[in-house]
Amino acid sequence: MMRTHLTSALETALIGSTVELCGWVAKRRDHGGVVFIDLRDAGGVVQVVVDPSKVVGVDPHLIRSEFVLRVVGVVKDRPEGTIKSDTANGAIEVAVDSVEILAACDALPIPVDEEVAADESLRLKYRYLDLRGRRLQGNLRLRARVNHLLRQAFDEREFIEVETPLLIASTPEGARDFVVPSRLTPGSFYALPQSPQLFKQLLMVGGLDRYFQIARCLRDEDPRADRQFEFTQLDMEMSFVDSDDVMDLVGEIVASVIRDVTQESADNPGRMTWADAMATYGTEKPDLRFDLPISNVTSVFSATEFRAFQADSVGALRIPESGELTRARLDSLIERAQSLGAPGLVWIRVREGSLIDSPVAKFLSEEEKSALLTKTNAQPGDLILLAAGSLAMTSEVLGVIRKEFCVVTKDLGLHTIWVTDFPLFEGLDDKGNPISSHHPFTAPHPDDLDLFMHAEGEDLLSVRSQAYDLVVNGWELGSGSVRIHSREIQERVFSLLGISPELAHARFGFLLEAFRYGAPPHAGFAFGIDRLVALLAGEDNIREVIAFPKTQSGADPLTNAPSLLEGSQLKSLGLSLAAKKKESRS
């Protein structure tokens, strides 16, 4: 070993001991006759003191930022008046006898461990430098801890960790696949898994009973703050359980991880139906750090003279103590609402004594005004925003407006909620076939089974499923469902989706066949570890919890991926490239 201690292991009990440390020069304060170096290693930082007239090894004036040093010295308590009580090793320092430069460092292209973040492409190009900073070090250590806690929790509950293949058959449903050309079967392609979905169901048929995996998943869709091409899920599946069993177990584990990491209390997630989430928050992933519910005030205006409110639905959002918003701000809210498809947005300032101030006040009767104030529980000084139209539109618009008033601060903590009873289908395609809202293996809700088996067209859209999402602070952390294990129901789903028996057989024949040989009832869940760690770390982009992420255009400035292939590589894969558009134009 080149060292005897990490800097984090140094303490006053070691005063007088000789220690050997290795690390990077985080900061250098050269006073000529004495040189102070803040030496950083994986544990932290300690001040080492070098006397140029006594030190063995190198001239300490030549030492620069981020040089890699090995020092041998004696742990000492600091002289009176030089103790830094706000720093971990602030009471001690290491008086160095010898210094060895293990590696020099060029002038840095980006600062290491600074508060101000450099340009994202530079951060990624020099990721190894960015990784030295406290932010990414802390995030990756947190991530490792979360992985450990999850493995431990599932292991304790008798789940078997199983790896599933990365090179699989493409299934055209869902997200775009990343594909890999086959060399041994030229012209054929593997796909990289969007999730281990089919394999985990086969593991249940295979009698594994309880499976989990920390699984890499890949989807070729445009990256976002909460999405990368490749991401990591805690994937799990259980046999002989219902949706409550899965939600209870996963909720308990997620809450325990939050407690462990934050050292604060965290209840198991509550429950809310999809219909309630949509009606109350205008979104299927409500951010419950803020209450601000949407009220349905359609009944208040059932006989109104005001034409704009003679609609299927009128929704109201009461924003406490915001009655003094400027007209400019109100106008921008109206514009926002219109950009989302609302004909308009009506604002009402609530005054003392049930008076209101609004451009539409004169169109509303006294009864309507007072009913509105009662229904929304409005107080003087509040602002009420109203949108009228279809229920779906008013909910969505007010849901988006609601978020504009949610001022996020870190101390609000993590608010978890299960959203249940999603619709089985989320709409009809241009052929009139319903579209799966989760995936085609999601079981219909038992109470809607009859409807599911017999309904057609629009009526199918009211069939609920046994799908559930775990939502944290407005992020969809994960989703799961009770799976179909009956061939009859599975075949009906395929048929409704417009997938012919032949096509179903071609794509999912192996699963359907497996279901002929004794498939246990099973259900599962998967949640994004990148998102969970980002939430725990207080990061708003998952790049900050991934060691080597990609940019929004899917590039890696460090390795220059994606890159061109040699002609010989293409040839051995049986591939040839179509001419680029620009080249064909010129």
Partner RNA sequence: GGUCCUGUGGUGCAGUUUGGAGUGCACGCCGCCCUGUCAAGGCGGAGGCCGCGGGUUCAAAUCCCGUCAGGACCGCCA
**Angle of helix 274-281 relative to helix 391-404, nearest 10 degrees?**
60
DSSP label at residue 191: E
Nearer to RNA by C-beta: 336 or 375? Answer: 336
**DSSP string of 379-408?**
-TT-EEEEEEE-HHHHHHHHHHHHHHT---
- Which amino acid, 99? V
The one segment of 10-18, 57-65, 134-142, 561-569 that binds RNA by CB under 7 A: 57-65
The one segment of 159-167, 204-212, 350-358, 431-439 that binds RNA by CB under 7 A: 431-439
Taken in order 249, 254, 255, 261, the sign of the CA dihedral is positive
Instruction: Please pick, from the candidates 120, 248, 252, 276, the single residue that binds RNA as defined by CB under 7 A.
Output: 120
* Cβ neighbourhood burial of 429 (10 Å; 0-12, 13-18, 19+): exposed
Total residues at interface with RNA (CB under 7 A): 66
* Distance from chain centroid for Cα 121: 21
- Under the binding rule (CB under 7 A), the answer on residue 415 touching RNA is no
> What string marks each residue from 545 to 574 as x (binds RNA by CB under 7 A) or -?
------xxx-x-x-----------------
**DSSP string of 412-474?**
G---EEEEE--BSEEEE-TTS-EEESS-TTBPBPGGGHHHHHH--GGGGGG-BBSEEEEEETT
Does the N-terminal peptide bond of residue 440 adopt cis geometry, omega within 30 degrees of 0? no
Taken in order 476, 482, 488, 490, the sign of the CA dihedral is positive
Q: What is each CA distance from 343 to 295, 315, 401, 514, in whole angstroms? A: 19, 13, 14, 52
> What string marks each residue from 122 to 151 as x (binds RNA by CB under 7 A) or -?
x-----------------------------
The one segment of 46-54, 151-159, 269-277, 529-537 that binds RNA by CB under 7 A: 46-54
500: phi then psi, degrees, rounded to nearest 5: -70, 160
Q: Which residues have a Cβ under 8 Å from the Cβ of 484 and sit 6 or more positions away?
A: 441, 442, 443, 490, 493
Cα(493)–Cα(89) distance, rounded to whole angstroms? 63
Q: Kindly state the smallest distance separating residue 517's Cβ from RNA, in Å.
A: 22
Nearer to RNA by C-beta: 108 or 453? Answer: 108
Q: Look up residue 67 and give its two tokens.
A: 């040089």
**According to CB under 7 A, which residues from 247 to 306 bind RNA?**
none
Q: Kindly state the smallest distance separating residue 75's Cβ from RNA, in Å.
A: 12
**According to CB under 7 A, which residues from 455 to 494 bind RNA?**
none
Q: Kindly state the smallest distance separating residue 86's Cβ from RNA, in Å.
A: 8
Q: Kindly state the smallest distance separating residue 109's Cβ from RNA, in Å.
A: 4
DSSP label at residue 556: B
Instruction: Please pick, from the candidates 139, 197, 243, 416, the single residue that binds RNA as defined by CB under 7 A.
Output: 197
Nearer to RNA by C-beta: 562 or 567? Answer: 562
Q: Kindly state the smallest distance separating residue 455's Cβ from RNA, in Å.
A: 19
Q: Kindly state the smallest distance separating residue 311's Cβ from RNA, in Å.
A: 22
Whether 353 and 381 have beta carbons less than 8 Å apart is answered as: no
Nearer to RNA by C-beta: 293 or 440? Answer: 440
> What string marks each residue from 2 to 41 as x (binds RNA by CB under 7 A) or -?
-------------------------x-xxxxxx-x-x---
Where on the chain is the footprint of RNA (CB under 7 A)? 27, 29-34, 36, 38, 47, 49, 51, 53, 61, 64-65, 78-79, 81-84, 87, 90, 93, 95, 107-111, 116-122, 171, 173-176, 194-195, 197, 219, 221-222, 224-227, 435-440, 541, 543, 551-553, 555, 557
